[in-house]
A = this chain, B = another copy of it.
Amino acid sequence: MHHFDSDYMEGAHPAILERMAAENFAKHDGYGCDPICDSARRRIREACGAPDAEIHLLTGGTQTNATMIKALLRPYEGVVAADTGHINVHEAGAVEATGHKVLALPHTDGRLAADTVARCVDAFLADGNRDHMVWPGMVYISQPTEYGTLYSLAELEALSRVCRDRAIPLYMDGARLAYALAAPACDMTLHDAARLCDAFYIGGTKCGALLGEAVVIPRAVMIPHLFTTVKQQGALLAKGWVLGLQFDTLFTDGLYLKIARQGIDTARRLAEGLAAAGYGTPFKPETNQIFLRLPPERLQELSAHATFSPWETLDDGSSIVRLATSWATDMKEIEAFLDELGHP
């Protein structure tokens, strides 16, 4: 049986484990106020071409999204997102628990179009009843999206322009950002992210770390006392150096991108093999997540060889499922799985 359930099944890159062993008995100041975290923040700033950026290291994605959305919004505001957005579906109401509405808009293959946002915000501002409604206070996107698809640089630039024209911050969930940046089809960089977003996070948990997400705020003065809000949200790790060490390692010598390529290469081979075996996909696989649309008999067939994540059951009885690879996936396992599938 082969396991493609998710990209967080394995632990950390070996370089991280080694360094953790080396640092384990040294004494470190708590809460991210230590030299290792300082170094990690320096490297991330450099990688983003954002020398003044404010960086915070948190532990998980839902936590990071809720904390940042709470910190960016005022009470009368909500967050605009694709209706497929992680914050709208799979975060158990974490955003609403901070008192804010998710203003869900239609998506295209998981992407939120700049036009859709512009129309929504402009219609809101023109609405005679707007003062009785939730103000669109920020825009949330995921790169890559929840369907593993990519925003192009042009699309990001359009979103950023729409947001800045309307003085609304653009926030990017980068839980799997490494797999976007390493994808052949991707024409954006971390510099672009820092230039176009008002805040975003660089995912560690799914991209080589044991745990950890690095929030980047390119203009450091934007959110006052974020440290305290992070603490209040239960998102401040006592042994912050454990997070710092991981990002410091991942951002040394471009390790973050290097290892992500393994996830991309194995996903690409897996996608080709599945297509050759007649498995249909509703979205072109662009990163490390492959979505399949399976009639019941093919679902059963595939389940005999692999585990993966259910996504949705359609009215015609077929299922959408997801297979994911990661930086730790072995190409030999892909080949073995495809062999087992027994298709040419």
Contacts and interface: CB of A to CB of B under 8 A. Distances in A.
A135 B229 CA distance: 10
Contacts of A25: 10-11, 328
A221 interface: no
A102 B96 CA distance: 9
Contact of A27 (B9, B63, B76): B9
A6 B30 contact: yes
A106 to B, nearest CB: 12
Given A60-B234, A129-B309, 20 more contacts: A6-B238, A9-B28, A12-B24, A60-B236, A63-B234, A63-B235, A70-B75, A90-B129, A91-B231, A91-B232, A92-B228, A93-B134, A94-B233, A104-B104, A127-B310, A131-B227, A133-B228, A205-B238, A210-B239, A234-B234
Given A20-B11, A100-B96, A313-B123, A235 B234 contact: yes
Interface string A232-252: 111111110010000000000
Given A75-B232, A227-B131, A228-B76, A60 B96 contact: no
10 contacts: A12-B24, A60-B238, A74-B224, A78-B93, A92-B132, A93-B100, A131-B228, A133-B228, A211-B238, A211-B239
- Which of A67, A98, A234, A239 has most chain B Cβ within 10 Å? A234
A128 interface: yes
A96 B27 CA distance: 33
Interface string A307-325: 0011001000000000000
A17 B229 CA distance: 31
Contacts of A205: 238-239
A74 to B, nearest CB: 7
Interface in A192-218: 205-206, 210-211
A155 interface: no
B11 A24 contact: yes
Interface string A49-62: 00000000001111
A339 interface: no
A289 to B, nearest CB: 15
Contacts of A20: 11, 17
A33 to B, nearest CB: 9
A224 to B, nearest CB: 7
**Chain A, interface residues (CB within 8 Å), range:** 35 or more
A272 interface: no
Contact of A29 (B5, B131, B224, B228): B5
Interface string A1-32: 00101101111101001001101111111110
A71 interface: yes
A154 interface: no
Contact of A76 (B21, B62, B232, B309): B232
Given A76-B92, A99-B96, A135 B232 contact: no
B90 A101 contact: no
A10 to B, nearest CB: 6
Contact of A9 (B29, B92, B129, B225): B29
A215 B118 CA distance: 35
A229 B131 CA distance: 9
A65 to B, nearest CB: 8
A102 B133 CA distance: 14
